[in-house]
Amino acid sequence: MNATRVGADAGEYIRVVHAGTCARGGIDLVAVERAVNGEHTPLSGAEKVYAARLLRDRGLVVRAIGARLGVSHPTVLVWLNGGKR
């Protein structure tokens, strides 16, 4: 997999898609890939949670994840804590 750590460089791109376009219980990995790379892409709730976890694993802070996915940072915290506030 050719993935690059998210950082200050706007030219970095996160690869999410592997062998197929849909995996993990109906999550559209193409849509997730677009969203984590800053494209305004409609995502289901499960796709937003998956994207938030990917971005956290790549070092983004909660506020940056929320901004990228179009949700509040408290919502991201709930997602990342398994539904617990």
**Overall residue count recorded for the chain in this entry:** 85
pLDDT the model gives residue 17: 58
Tally helices (H) and strands (E) across the chain.
4, 2
Q: pLDDT below 50 — which residues of the chain?
A: 1-2, 4-5, 7-8
pTM above 0.85? Answer: no
Q: Where are the alpha helices (DSSP H) in the chain?
A: 29-36, 45-57, 62-69, 73-80
pLDDT the model gives residue 4: 45
